[in-house]
């Protein structure tokens, strides 16, 4: 459960970053590292999986004589992100209730 939560959070984070603008692996990793404690090699499997699931698409753009692979969110990815946002909201509320003791207070 905790592991799947972490995976989903990582997926949601990647989709959220790409919702703002298309970007490439290095920048994506640096941005994700700002909010989560992940290694530089964590995102590749995540990106690959999302791409295979149809949530992301890629395109190559030339940069200084080489190619850079940009990732962009698809329609399907947007739907997935919406779902993650809903999940996150309800998760956040539940955790908040427990941590601030709201849940037990309501019951007594």
Partner 1 sequence: MTRREFFEILIRDLRNIDPAELQDVLQYYNEYLDDAGIENEQATLAELGSPQKIATAIKANSTIRYLESSEKTSKKSLKAMWITLGAVFAAPIALPIAIVAAALVFTLIIICASVIFSFYAVAVALGLSGILLSIFSFFVITLSPMTFLAMLGSGFILAGLGLLFFIGTNALAKVSLKGYVLFVHKTILRKKGN
Q: Considering only 14-22, 34-42, 74-82, 84-92, which stretch makes contact with partner 1 by CB under 8 A?
A: 34-42
**Binding test (CB under 8 A) with partner 1, winner from 4, 52, 101, 104:** 52
What lies within 8 Å, CB to CB, of 56 at 6+ separation is 14, 15, 18, 47, 50, 71, 72, 73, 74, 77
What is the rounded CA–CA span in Å between residue 11 and residue 43? 9
35 vs 95, which CB is nearer to partner 1?
35
**Binding test (CB under 8 A) with partner 1, winner from 29, 32, 77, 84:** 29
CB 19 within 8 A of CB 71: no
Chain residues in the site for partner 1 (CB under 8 A): 24-27, 29, 39-41, 44-45, 47-49, 52, 66-69
């Amino acid at each position: 459960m905790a592991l799947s939560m972490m995976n989903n959070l990582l997926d949601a984070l990647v989709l959220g970053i790409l919702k703002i603008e298309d970007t490439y692996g290095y920048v994506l990793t640096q941005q994700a590292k700002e909010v989560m404690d992940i290694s530089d090699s964590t995102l590749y499997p995540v990106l690959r999986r999302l791409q295979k699931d149809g949530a992301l698409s890629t395109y190559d753009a030339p940069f200084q004589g080489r190619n850079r692979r940009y990732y962009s969110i698809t329609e399907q990815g947007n739907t997935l992100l919406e779902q993650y946002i809903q999940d996150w909201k309800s998760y956040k509320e539940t955790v908040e209730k427990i941590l601030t003791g709201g849940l037990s207070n309501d019951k007594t």
